[in-house]
Structure 1
Amino acid sequence: MTRTALQTHTLRPLEEPIDRKLDRAVDAGYEGVQFTPDLGHTTPANLLEQVRARELEIAGCHVDRELLEDDYEEAIEIYRTLDCSALVISSYDPEAFESEAGIERAVSHLSELADRLAEDGFTLHYHNHYFEFTDLGDRTGYEVFADLSDGAIRLEVDTGLAFYGGADPAALIDRYADRIDLVHLTDTIPGSDETVHAELGSGEVDLRACVERSAAANVEWLIYENGRTDDPATSIVDAIDVMSELLES
């Protein structure tokens, strides 16, 4: 069953302690939360206690790739304590996606990391932006990345950013269904940096198709994120209304 979660990055402008952000997620009706690398001014053990006290679940964590590379043991201890096995690389160097050779190097790099994490009981997921969808001839950069990393790296499709990059996010979810546990359900209006992120339901993404494909693929979590909302508190409430209606229809 596909469930709803909130990416805490959406609430970053409020500059509130993490416990207040968790309260907002519960009050709005989300079933889970997904954390950024910044876990707030608390310990992983305390954070897990706060999450469980609110009967939330952790829908993966976006991680600091440099920390994973430079201090691997410290990094995995954080997420082992959080009881979170799904670790997400939130971005990669855009220049790497300008050529197949660059993508091959990126895949090799991330696959080594994914293999090491798998030995310790973790899965590695890649969250797309829009630069991955550069046309490289017969395929986009994202398609090259997905094809080369088949079996090693799981995919967290961000629907709005994929659409902004020129892709059909529902088709991506369908095509790579067996590699997707997490979907960022986001909206966008292409053509302007000001509208890369739009309030859910106000943009041009076919959200219904994305939710239908996600449910059909047994995606575990639909995760709402909006990195540029002017009113985060209202945004997360409006978004859960949209998500719930789409999941129920």
Structure 2
Amino acid sequence: MNRRRVLQGIGAAGVGTTITSTAWQAETTVAAQETNEDIPISTQFYSYRDTGLSVPELIQKAADAGYDAFEPYSVGANTNVNPILRAMDDTGLEMSSAHISISAVEDNTEAMGKTFSQFGTPTLIDPGSGPDDWGNEAAVIDFAERCNAAADMLAEYDLEFGHHNHDAEFAEIGDTTGYDIFAENLDNQVQIQLDVGWALVGGRDPISFTVDHSTNVRSLHMKNMTVDPQEFTEIHEGDVNMRAVATAFRNTGDTDYLVFEHDAPENPLESMQIGADWLEKLNQPWQPGGIGAIEGADTHPAKLYSP
């Protein structure tokens, strides 16, 4: 984990779900950008599952592309860790996090804890399991309590636990969503890794969710998608305003990683490089006139999608 506290208290200060106002921009943008610190960038190795490359080989590719860290999905308690550790040592990359099911953590806590603690302090993130019906409030709360318990189990090994969303989590329950109820019932130490593409497809503005639940949202899956038709795209080609998302995330407080992912790339390694290049552009210091490296980029948080 490589947490950088940039600005505290946006969520606690009472920022609501509508965050596009001039007042919010005026109060936060200048203060948040005074440090101009980069958010470390990582990449989810599921994006490269069809390349035939091993985890150590992908670590080298990620380092060459310019990433600070990586996020595996195929490492477990029985993995030979030595080649991975050598690749990390050779490249200087960190393991930002790893996708591990909550059931694996519950059923084999000691083995998982001992295995992943060898990699530093990566957050173990459930990749998207949960209640069968995210529209059922009781089921959502029960699952949040499971996540709280899993985090307590891993704390003995100085590891944290989190959850990654898809679109089903945003099913409506009254005047809110299942994932909002989930977030409200999490202990502070449980992380949410917000997949911004799936959130948008699910009907939830990723910016407002990030601000509303800033205590728990500590990494973002920077996955871009189109809403209609629902398709995966390169990071700069979908309906998500990635600059606005990154700016809002920078403003909210505890910011661990921006994690690039593309679920269906035509050329996985080319997408890896595109993702790294754009995440570095998104990390450029704020400028009133926009970001020169991104033509037409909006440096202010704004509504992401207008059908």
Give TM-score scaled by structure 1 length: 0.92
Q: Distance in 2 between matches of 1:11 and 1:71?
A: 27
- Summarize the alignment of residues 49-60 of structure 1 with structure 2, pairs less than 5 Å apart: 49-60=86-97
Please point out which of 268, 287, 290 is paired with 1:232.
268
Please point out which of 239, 248, 254 is paired with 1:213.
248
Query: Larger Rg: 1 or 2?
Result: 2
Corresponding residue number in structure 2 for 1:242: 278
Greater share of residues in helix: 1
**Aligned pairs, how many?**
247
Q: Distance in 2 between matches of 1:58 and 1:165?
A: 29
CA contact (8 A) 1:45 1:82 kept: no
CA contact (8 A) 2:68 2:94 kept: yes
Q: Distance in 1 between matches of 2:106 and 2:216?
A: 23
Q: Distance in 2 between matches of 1:104 and 1:80?
A: 29
- Summarize the alignment of residues 197-208 of structure 1 with structure 2, pairs less than 5 Å apart: 197-208=232-243
Q: Does 1:81 align with 2:118?
A: yes
Moved more, 130-139 or 13-22: 13-22
Corresponding residue number in structure 2 for 1:33: 70
Higher relative contact order (CA 8 A, sep 6+): 2
Give TM-score scaled by structure 2 length: 0.75
Unaligned runs of 5+ in 2: 1-36, 285-290, 292-307
Q: Which amino acid aligns with 2:116?
A: Y
Structure 1 residue 177 displacement after superposition:
1.9
Q: Distance in 2 between matches of 1:42 and 1:92?
A: 22
CA change 1:85–1:19 in 2 (3 A) is closer
Q: Distance in 2 between matches of 1:94 and 1:199?
A: 30
Q: Distance in 2 between matches of 1:27 and 1:121?
A: 30
Structure 1 residue 19 displacement after superposition:
2.4
Structure 2 residue matching 1:188: 3-state secondary structure: strand
- Post-superposition Cα deviations, 1:132-185, rounded to whole Å, max 9, x if no partner, equal 000111210011101111425221111111111111111222222222321111
Q: Distance in 2 between matches of 1:47 and 1:19?
A: 5
- Post-superposition Cα deviations, 1:91-132, rounded to whole Å, max 9, x if no partner, equal 113514121011121112221111222233221111111100
Q: Distance in 1 between matches of 2:256 and 2:189?
A: 19
Q: Distance in 1 between matches of 2:250 and 2:189?
A: 23
User: What is the aligned-residue identity percentage?
Assistant: 23
Q: Distance in 1 between matches of 2:191 and 2:256?
A: 13
